[in-house]
Structure 1
């Protein structure tokens, strides 16, 4: 099914627009590209996956964030975000990354995870039943995976890692209020956060984070460079 993918992209000049047009034109399934330099926004329409679009833009060396998806005929399907915190006592821990969830269609969810400042290696990821972060992972309840889908591990190198994928293992509306836990074998819950509803397509055009005062792309670069958020 054709979809629209809205991205915020750090662009500074017409050359940026040309580079992004060029690289997206080579992505299979991209039918239409609409770029606004003034709004720092890229809208892509077609059957290409959000993960392939995001990767293509990041490969140009520019920071990009998927803001939402929607059907080509209009309407938002669903979106959520999970901010990861480190440690079992989440009230005194550091923010270490986030996951974005956008519903592509009725069965497929796009997931984009970025973390920094944790141990290198392959980390397991899982949705848990509860959103209680008071004593991770025990307070999060059991793993919630009714469709028994196996997810690839999140690989961290030099303190930084990201993972983007699409899954039919859950839909956005099923995981709101639950927690996502990132672990590393015997370490148990290394990072955790509560999944909360976020803006969908065209619902949030802000470019500055109210918490830190940084732009979206500064926040992204902090993660890309392996620094704390």
Structure 2
């Protein structure tokens, strides 16, 4: 099924439009490109996933933000957001230190990107948990989401909530991936938790088959529905007054979340 990917892209002139168009023409699966300088918006149609499209534009040196995806025949397939706002790392701060976005690409594929800052360097396990209760992180979040009743493992063959490890350097880390193990509407209302340590993917002793020996959760947030394709046209962040791509540029530099 062909999909549409909507992005906000930092463009200032016709040369920018030409460059973005040229870059996207080189992405396999891109069939149609609509670039608007006035709205600073790019809409791509085809079989290419949002990760490939986003990486291509970022590879050209421009800041870009995925705004949503949808079927080529119309309709919001599904989108959600998780703001990490509770946990040990935030006891003395009211500022969120992490964000995860979920966009349903098609009936089978979900695109996820995660960004965190202000936690220790190294690898940190990430997982979707059963409950959306942040009253006492991490215990109130419940166990890893595991509707199939299998042992903990990796993102391909473990709990359906197993995401893998997020690498943090200089207090900053991010990851983006596409998965067919869950759909947006299955995880809305649950929580996503970032653990203190790395995930051993079920290959170690002790609690390895339960949580990968990753330790206690240090950041957590509830996964909530968000705007989908063409449902949110704002270009300015209400928190800072920056444009979306200015925010993304700061995020890419590790200066803002």
What TM-score does the superposition give when structure 1 sets the normalisation length? 0.92
Alignment of 1:103-182 (within 5 A): 103-147=104-148, 148-149=159-160, 150-182=162-194
User: What is the total number of aligned residue pairs between the two structures?
Assistant: 229
In structure 2, the CA distance between the partners of 1:33 and 1:128, relative to structure 1 (3 Å rule), is same
Quick one: distance in 2 between partners of 1:180 and 1:110? 15
If you compute each CA radius of gyration, which structure gives the higher value, 1 or 2?
Answer: 2
Q: Which digits, 9 at most, give the CA deviation of each residue in 1:142-164, with x for residues without a partner? A: 11133534534222222222211
- Unpaired runs of 5+ residues, structure 2, are 149-158, 198-213
- Unpaired runs of 5+ residues, structure 1, are none
Asked if the contact 2:77/2:104 (under 8 Å) is kept, the reply is: yes
Asked if the contact 1:117/1:159 (under 8 Å) is kept, the reply is: yes
Structure (1 or 2) with the greater strand fraction: 1
Q: What's the RMSD between the two structures over aligned residues?
A: 1.9
Structure 2 residue matching 1:106: 3-state secondary structure: coil
Q: Which is worse superposed, 138-147 or 193-202?
A: 138-147
- Superposed displacement of residue 205, structure 1: 0.3
What TM-score does the superposition give when structure 2 sets the normalisation length? 0.83
- Superposed displacement of residue 117, structure 1: 2.5
Of residues 239, 242, 247, the one that matches 1:211 is 239
- Superposed displacement of residue 23, structure 1: 1.3
Q: Which is worse superposed, 166-175 or 35-44?
A: 166-175
Quick one: distance in 2 between partners of 1:220 and 1:18? 21
Counterpart of 1:66 in structure 2 is 66
Q: Which digits, 9 at most, give the CA deviation of each residue in 1:30-78, with x for residues without a partner? A: 1111100110100001111111111111111211111111111111111
Quick one: distance in 2 between partners of 1:224 and 1:191? 20
Structure 2 residue matching 1:33: 3-state secondary structure: strand
Asked if the contact 1:64/1:217 (under 8 Å) is kept, the reply is: yes
Counterpart of 2:151 in structure 1 is none
Counterpart of 1:12 in structure 2 is 12
- Superposed displacement of residue 219, structure 1: 2.1
